[in-house]
């Protein structure tokens, strides 16, 4: 286990360096950071001064090693927009996103797993067809639209929940539900098909023949086996929420998390802040992947962690 | 023979009586009549081999006894009685729930897939002990070790903590047998128990089954397509063809003097080591489509002895000799025809 973790962390570090290189290439080589960050009407002198201030006038390889070196020390420089360390700003926003994504994934799993199991027990039945239809609706609904719909219904019409910002738990409800519903829809479908696969396997027939309680057949036997793909998918959902949907959902609800921050750093042309965000998100994804691998081992003893 | 007690067990109620069982599968293509009237009985401590080729309905029959027929399959007619009481119908349901998995247990063909890959084998045996015998965790654990020892698994104390993937196929089949024996059953159904195993392992498993059968006084219903497997283990034989039982009787008698041309063909197509057989014969043709089974005898199209009557009237399973029932218009006519030859062209 220790060896495995060490290996995965080293692999993760390589990925982080890779991500950093890509960010560097995109910001410094493909685009001109000075032109991106300064307004169009800036004079040549202003541009030169700005480049000198941030070191963009140095040779590219010097900039590269400097950038990698400071990135590995988690030093991205000061945000242009807020004029304080970019990492500090990112770390302020991170817990809010983690809270939202965490709550929504718990919600999604709580909704999806029992429903998926229930539908798998009688494929083609009324409940199954109803839930499959609902799931299809859920997963064809764009996040931003679902968010707006929830705002209109629960925020404006019924006035149960606040419609933007953060501060209280009530603020988190609508954005968390917006994250959770499409994820739940996908997870229902996956749980259902994984359970149907398992229930048709030979070992389940033997468990039926043993005539142990049905609950045990479903829970201890079939779902235990179906849990492996369900867990993989949940990990995926967390990653997609962190790295993609958070931008949309947090913007819709003005939730001051990483996604919202990313959009703001883009609109304010703050490349330094954006780099820090990308770096931290990459780190989160790698961490989640390692945690998932360890969790597999606990579910399936056949998996060897090497 | 519906209500009449079976002639072979006149004194007592048979342990298991399958009476004119009919099982159909309602598929999109049509109604597959997998079992079209199977009748046989089994007494305490007796062994019977249910033999037939793939698709003859022998496995479906065994699943019906275990209550494992699921939609689109359905038992459409007939009865399965355990110690004289029906396992089917509304009244039978509660009764069968206490019987299945407790007094009747089953082992399957492929031991590598018939155990839960993610559960320790001790726990898989233990759940039977817990549920059917009401054992607590610690006594179930102890008993699981004893059971593994009983089926010849060495180091049982370590083995209970392992998973099926850590075992070979033969060992997993031993585990499956231990699991089946855990509930202290009176009938063990072995559905092709050796088909997925190597020949040497097959012999070991059969030997184990035979030994357990005598030691524990188990009744065994052995489902197989392999007459060689039956020979060593079963006193009685029921030959199944196209969803019907075509011949029943003492195994040895059927071997030496088959009454049904299909049994005759089946024996002729089984390789033997003890007798010099000039040429292994195969039965020409294929079993009928069970969506549209023939009106007459299902074997008639493949039968070398078929006459016009065979194609028009389906023969009943009739007692031709003492303890020998054959469903054939030309039962025992093979005697006059001579050595087995390939049927048809």
**Contact residues, A window 200-239, toward B, CB-based 8 Å cutoff:** 201-203, 205-213, 216, 220-221, 224-225
**Among the partner residues A202, A213, A221, nearest to B108 by beta-carbon distance:** A202
pTM of the model: 0.82
d(CA B245, CA B52): 9
Mutate to test the interface with A, among B72, B87, B101 (most CBs of A within 10 A): B101
In terms of C-beta density within 10 A (0-12 exposed, 13-18 middle, 19 or more buried), how is residue A221 classed? buried
Residue B109 neighbours by CB distance under 10 Å: 19
Phi-psi region of A269 (alpha: psi -120 to 50; beta: other; left: phi over 0): left
Closest-CA distance, B180 to chain A, in angstroms, reads 8
Q: What pLDDT sits at residue B293?
A: 81
- Residue A211: closest CA among chain B residues belongs to which residue? B101
Q: What pLDDT sits at residue B4?
A: 44
Tell which residue, A1, A11, A63, has the closest CA to residue A32: A63
Pairing type for strands B104-107 and B187-191 reads: parallel
Q: What pLDDT sits at residue B9?
A: 40
**Among the partner residues B66, B101, B113, nearest to A203 by beta-carbon distance:** B113
* 8 Å CB contact between A105 and A237: yes
Q: What pLDDT sits at residue B232?
A: 77
Q: Do A208 and B108 touch (CB under 8 A)?
A: no
| Sheet strands (E) in chain B | 16-26, 31-42, 47-51, 73-82, 85-86, 104-107, 187-191, 219-224, 236-241, 244-250, 318-321, 324-326
> Which structure tokens are listed for A303?
């998996």
> Which structure tokens are listed for A276?
């820090």
Q: Do A212 and B101 touch (CB under 8 A)?
A: yes
Q: What pLDDT sits at residue B2?
A: 40
* 8 Å CB contact between B331 and B260: yes
d(CA A242, CA B80): 59
Q: What pLDDT sits at residue B8?
A: 44
Mutate to test the interface with B, among A125, A211, A225 (most CBs of B within 10 A): A211
Correct CATH for A86-299 of 1.10.8.10, 1.10.3720.10, 3.30.460.80, 3.40.50.1000: 1.10.3720.10
Point out the residues of chain B with pLDDT beneath 70: 1-12, 91-92, 271-281, 337-345
Q: What pLDDT sits at residue B58?
A: 87
> Which structure tokens are listed for B209?
């089954």
Helix (H, G, I), strand (E, B), or coil: what is residue B86?
strand
Which residues of chain B have a Cβ shorter than 8 Å from any chain A Cβ? Answer: 66, 68, 97, 100-102, 105-106, 108, 110, 113-119, 127-128, 131-132, 163, 165, 176, 179, 183
Neighbour-count burial for A171-209, b at 16+ CB within 10 Å, e otherwise = bbbbbbbbbbbbbbbbbbbbbbbbbbebbebebbbbbbb
**Among the partner residues B66, B106, B127, nearest to A212 by beta-carbon distance:** B127
Q: For residue range B307-343, what is the model confidence (pLDDT) as tens digits?
A: 788 888 888 888 888 888 888 888 777 777 655 444 4
Helix (H, G, I), strand (E, B), or coil: what is residue B100?
strand
Point out the residues of chain A with pLDDT beneath 70: none
Closest-CA distance, B230 to chain A, in angstroms, reads 23
Q: Which residues pair with B247 in a beta bridge?
A: B239, B326
- Secondary-structure breakdown of chain A: helix, strand, coil percentages, each rounded to the nearest 5: 80, 0, 20
Q: What pLDDT sits at residue A163?
A: 76
Q: For residue range B94-141, what is the model confidence (pLDDT) as tens digits?
A: 777 788 888 999 999 888 889 999 999 999 999 999 989 988 999 999
Q: What pLDDT sits at residue A23?
A: 81
Closest-CA distance, A299 to chain B, in angstroms, reads 8
């Amino acid at each position: 286990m220790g060896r495995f973790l060490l290996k995965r962390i080293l692999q993760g570090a390589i990925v982080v360096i890779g991500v950093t290189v890509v960010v560097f290439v995109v910001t410094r080589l493909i685009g001109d950071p000075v032109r991106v960050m300064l307004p169009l009407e800036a004079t040549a002198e202003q541009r030169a001064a700005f480049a000198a201030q941030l070191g963009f006038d140095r040779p590219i390889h010097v900039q590269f090693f400097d950038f990698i070196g400071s990135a590995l020390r988690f030093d991205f420089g000061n945000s242009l927009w807020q004029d304080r360390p970019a990492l500090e700003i990112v770390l302020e926003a991170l817990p809010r996103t983690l809270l939202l994504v965490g709550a929504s994934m718990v919600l999604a799993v709580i909704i999806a797993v029992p429903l998926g199991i229930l539908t798998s027990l009688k494929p083609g039945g009324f409940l199954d067809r109803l839930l499959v239809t609902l799931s299809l609706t859920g997963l064809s609904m764009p996040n931003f639209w679902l968010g707006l719909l929830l705002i209109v219904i629960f925020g404006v019409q019924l006035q149960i929940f606040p419609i933007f910002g953060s501060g209280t738990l009530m603020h988190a409800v609508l954005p968390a539900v917006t994250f959770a519903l499409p994820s739940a829809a996908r997870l229902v479908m996956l749980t259902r098909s994984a359970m149907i696969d398992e229930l048709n396997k030979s070992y389940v027939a033997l468990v039926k023949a043993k005539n142990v309680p049905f609950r045990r057949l479903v829970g201890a036997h079939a779902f235990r086996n179906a849990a492996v793909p369900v867990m993989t998918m949940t990990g995926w959902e967390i990653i997609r929420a962190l790295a993609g949907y958070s931008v949309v959902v947090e913007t819709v609800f003005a939730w001051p998390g990483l996604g919202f921050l990313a959009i703001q750093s883009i609109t304010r042309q703050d490349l330094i802040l954006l780099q820090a965000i990308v770096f931290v998100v990459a780190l989160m994804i790698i961490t989640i992947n390692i945690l998932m691998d360890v969790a597999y081992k606990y579910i399936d003893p056949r998996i060897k962690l090497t | 023979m519906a209500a009449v007690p079976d002639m072979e067990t006149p004194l007592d109620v048979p342990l298991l009586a399958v009476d004119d069982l009919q099982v159909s599968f309602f598929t999109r293509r049509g109604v597959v009549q997998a079992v079209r009237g199977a009748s046989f009985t089994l007494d305490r401590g007796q062994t019977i081999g249910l033999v037939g080729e793939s698709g003859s309905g022998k496995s479906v029959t065994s699943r019906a006894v275990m209550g494992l027929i699921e939609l689109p399959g359905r038992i459409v007619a007939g009865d399965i009685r355990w110690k004289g009481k029906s396992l089917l119908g509304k009244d039978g349901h509660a009764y069968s729930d206490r019987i299945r998995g407790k007094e009747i247990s089953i082992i399957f063909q492929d031991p590598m897939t018939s155990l839960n890959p993610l559960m320790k084998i001790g726990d898989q045996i233990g759940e039977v002990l817990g549920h059917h015998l009401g054992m607590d965790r610690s006594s179930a654990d102890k008993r699981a070790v004893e059971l593994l020892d009983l089926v010849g698994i060495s180091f049982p104390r370590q083995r209970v903590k392992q998973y099926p993937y850590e075992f070979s196929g033969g060992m997993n089949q031993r585990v499956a047998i231990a699991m089946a024996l855990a509930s202290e059953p009176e009938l063990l159904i072995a559905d092709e128990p050796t088909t997925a195993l190597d020949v040497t392992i097959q012999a070991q498993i059969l030997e184990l089954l035979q030994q357990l059968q005598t030691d524990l006084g188990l009744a065994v219903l052995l489902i197989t397509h392999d007459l060689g497997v039956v020979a060593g283990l079963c006193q009685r034989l029921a030959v199944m063809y196209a969803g019907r039982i075509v011949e029943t009787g003492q195994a040895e008698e059927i071997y030496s003097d088959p009454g049904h041309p299909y049994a005759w063909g089946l024996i002729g197509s089984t390789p033997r080591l003890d007798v010099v057989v000039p040429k292994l014969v195969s039965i020409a043709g294929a079993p009928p489509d069970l969506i549209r089974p023939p009106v007459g005898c299902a074997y008639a199209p493949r039968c070398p002895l078929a006459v016009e009557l065979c194609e028009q009237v389906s023969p009943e399973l009739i007692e031709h000799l003492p303890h020998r029932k054959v469903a054939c218009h030309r039962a025992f006519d093979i005697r006059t025809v001579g050595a087995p030859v390939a049927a048809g062209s």
